Structure formats: structure tokens, C-alpha cells
A and B are shown apart, each in its own frame.
Chain A
């Protein structure tokens, strides 16, 4: 069974925050939710775990015992130690003593928090706190894992570790949903849902998204309003698919595809 949102609209403070959003994930898969600030990523995550009520549409999720959630704030109790935070989650999920000991030992090791086991949550660095929150979300081996910006503030090495943990959870049969502003990270997910102003801009696998963008993306600056800079190079979206002389078609990555999709959406309005 897939988990996620089907045609869901959500209002926050009486203003539309999600509009007719579809985003589903199957067990064993990783879904990345991407978008700029205020696009609706956190709203989607909070709706999926039940913290926000959908105005319309259907939200599918397992029962709360089978959900692991890492909020944007990390969800770590600052006045409990690393071990006590994990113990509380284990208590709430009524994990057996044996399961708890082996899972805590394993997660402390893979998140490299073993040496910090007796430190208070408040005394951890931002990255360590997120890793602890991540470990708490994974502890009870849930069916659906929802991670709100798990890699924000985390160093590159730890980001790779977190990705390995996410992948391992998916391989173990969990459905993993994470929000991120790092598009390179999102590209590694099985599927992607890109949000813009509360609406789905593009979704599916990277191939699906590439196929959904009409025209071509070329490597020269030409048509001003359809061009953007990538490092020292320029890109231009050519909706008619034509390739001007001196230009070459490029193999667009997720960043280029989403810029082109955004331009297409803007022009369609």
C-alpha cells in the first residue's frame, strides 16, 4: 500500500498552503519533496503525519505507531540526554528491552553519537541534534518515515551518512519521505515532488520530470527571460525545441529541469 497525499489542499492561517497536491510513496521507496522557501514542503510533511488537517483530498498514512517523524526543529528534548531521548521514544513505542538495546546501540553507532550518548540534547551541535532526531524517527522501525529537512545544517560527511541511513530504511521496507532544498540530494531519490507556491510543479522520477518539460535546454544565453546562469555557464530553455546555431542541447539535471518547469508554469499563467 502506498502512503501520501491525493488531491490534497491545506490552509494554514486561512491562506492556501497546499493546493491539489498529489505525492505518494510506496514501501521500499524514497520520495524527495523539493521547493524553495515557502513552497509548502513542511506543510506537506506535517499534513502527511497528521499535524495539519487537509481541507480536501485524501491523506493515506499508517497508524501512529508505524510513523517515524523528524520535525524541522529536530524534535529532540533539549533537557534529556541522547540516551534518554531514545529511551523515551522506545518507551512510547513499548519496545521490548532486547529490541531497544540492540536498536539504540545500532543507531548510536551509525549516527556516530555513541561518544555523545550522555550529553544533553541542548549541548549537541545542530548537525548532531538532527542526527539524533533522525535516529529517534528510525528507532521503532516504522512503515512510513517523514523527515523534514534532515540534512539542513549537517556537514557533508554526515549528510552522506544520513543518506545511507535513509536508503537502508527503504531497503528494509519503509517508505521514506524527506524534504530538502538540496536538489543534488533529491536527485538520488526514487521519485521527486517539486512544489512551487503550494502547487506541484513537477513530480515523478528524474526521467518523468525530464519528459514532462517540453522543448530543449541549451548551453548558451539567448532569450533573456528564459535564460539562467549555472556557475560560469548559461542555460536557455527553448520551448519550441529549436537549437540555435552555436548552441548545444545539454543533459539537464534536476536544477535545470525545475527552472524550465517553473518558466513554463509562469508562461502558462
Chain B
């Protein structure tokens, strides 16, 4: 038995990834997620309009972080501001009270706002937009769609490529008259297609089973999905590039998945996280896809209001997909870069 224990320790010591997962990851996860795991909302972005805008904004509790006060803001302007994600609450104040428009797609902030307004300012009429019932499923489904794309893009793609390496067939492909580009595209395209079909299925199930609205443009969501898929497929190929076997690939893929599930704003609102942890969230692709999907589906956000998340995803896509292509080419292209080979 002692020999078995010693052998096992020797093996674990040499498996640096498992060692990291066993020792470093729990500490990191506890610290990071400890700061992230909060449903409490400490500030709600608010704009205030209407004839009594100045007086009402001065009397608002600290929970409402007033970003703009303009008496000219009317209901139409307020709705547009919420749709574009400028604020979560838009208050149109008049001397008798007024109306508070609340963005229901920001579930926890909206719930906190409704509670604060109901108890603190009963004279103000509350109108929850986009998700009037403040249903969790309406907010979760767009993010879950992203999670499914992430799972297929990262885990399944990395497994598909590593399977080739493990079976020795990647070597076979490298010798065949195929350009690295052909192999890469041929390898990734099926997963791209399957992920796209999965996305459509998830959205249809979300709409018909969970009554998730689809208020925005299909084209905008499609654009966001394509950019996001490029990022996730790129991460999958990168993981496969540094994994010797499928176990290692799954291990690494889970290391990239878990933070995205917890820090992207799907479950815990980004506004509730500690600043440093929130910035980790901003470095994750799912955070930006979630903003696009939730914005398009629930709020009907126009393309112009989603340029930042689309741009960030495009940047991620160029960097990650580019690195994946370079890595894949390196695996396949020894013969194409050899300076002394004479190919007749």
C-alpha cells in the first residue's frame, strides 16, 4: 500500500495541471467567487427627467446612482435610454409624483429598484419594461444560449482536435496534400454549424417554452453569435494545442468555462461584484455576448447601442482565433517551413 501511495504522489507531482487544480484553483476560486457571489445591488444607474427632475433627483436615496438629470427627458426618451442600456431606472418626475420606468432585463437591479420605490416613494407609479413579471428565465435564457455556444465551441472543439492528435491522425493529415488552412477550416466548420443549430434550438425553446421575448433584430444577434463563436472555437483549438489527451483538454476547458459561468453576469450581476473581480468579468467573452443577447432579445436594443460589446468580441475573435490558427499551423506545417528540404 505504501508503494502505491508513493507512486501516486510521484505521478501527481509530475502532473502540474492536476496539481494546480488541486491546490491553487480552490484558493483562487474561493477568493474570486467569494467576491463575485452576491445578489445584492449597491447602485442602480438612474436618469431623471420631467418638470420636477432636479428636486426629485436630490431626494433619491444613494441606491440610485443618478447619471443624468434633464427636465426635457420624456417617457419616449426614457424608454429609449433603457433600451440602449444607458440606465436601469428612468424617473419622469412631476410635482405630484411621476412614473419610474424600470429595465426588467437587469433582474436584480430592477427588483431592488422596485422594492426601494414601493417602500420609499409610494406616490411614484412603477412601470417595469421588457420583463414586466421580472421572470428569472427571461433573463437567464439569453445567457444560457451563450453558455451552450461556449460549451460546444470550447469543450467539443478541443476534444475533436485532441482526438486527432491522440489517434495519431493529425500526423496523417499533416503529411496529406492539405494546406493547414484546409485542415483548420475543415475541422472547425462542423462545430460552427452544430453550434449555430444549437443556438437556434435554444432560442426557439426559450421563446416557446419559457416565453422569453425576442424584441430585437435577428441580424444583430446573429452577428454577435458569429463573433462569439469565433472566440470560443479559437479557445477550443488553443486548448487542444496544449493538451496531449482528451482528459487534459477537458480539464483546461473547464478551467475556462467555470469563471465565465460565474463572472459573466449571467448569474450574479456584474454591478454587485468587487471592482477587481468585475474587471476579470470584463475580460471574459461570455460577459459581452450576454450583454448582446440580453440586450437584443429582452430589451430590443438597436445595433448602435451594442457597438462596444460587438467590438470587444470582434477584438477577442481576431486575437484568439488568430493565435489558434498560428498554433494549428505550427502543429501541421513543419514540412512547409523547412529551409533545407528539396521538394520535387
Contact = CB atoms under 8 A, between A and B. Distances in A.
The finding on whether chains A and B are genuine partners in a shared complex, rather than unrelated, reads: yes
A212 B294 CA distance: 78
Interface residues of A, number: 32
A53 interface: yes
Contacts of B172: 69, 71, 75, 136
Interface in A216-232: none
Count chain B CB atoms within 10 A of each CB in A46, A50, A52 and give the residue with the most.
A50
Interface in A75-112: 75-78, 89, 92-93
A123 to B, nearest CB: 14
Contacts of B178: 92
Contacts of A61: 341-344
Interface in A24-69: 46, 49-54, 56-65, 67, 69
A269 interface: no
B334 A51 contact: yes
Given A59-B340, A61-B343, A65-B177, A75 B171 contact: yes
B175 A52 contact: no
A72 B177 contact: no
A73 B337 contact: no
B335 A64 contact: yes
B20 interface: no
A245 to B, nearest CB: 54
B175 A64 contact: yes
A49 B335 contact: yes
Given A53-B334, A92-B176, A75 B341 contact: no
A46 B335 CA distance: 10
Contact of A72 (B168, B337, B342): B168
Interface residues of B, number: 20
Contact of A71 (B168, B334, B338): B168
B193 interface: no
B167 A73 contact: yes
Contact of A92 (B168, B169, B171, B177): B177
Interface in B307-344: 334-338, 340-344
B338 A53 contact: yes
B343 A63 contact: yes
A50 B178 CA distance: 13
A69 B340 contact: no
A61 B175 CA distance: 12
A37 to B, nearest CB: 18
Nearest to B332: A51
Given A73-B167, A77-B167, A77-B169, A67 B340 contact: no
A67 B171 CA distance: 13
Interface of B: 167-169, 171-172, 174-178, 334-338, 340-344
8 contacts: A50-B341, A53-B334, A54-B340, A59-B342, A61-B342, A64-B175, A69-B175, A72-B168
Given A50-B341, A69-B175, A73-B171, 6 more contacts: A71-B171, A72-B168, A73-B169, A75-B172, A77-B169, A92-B176
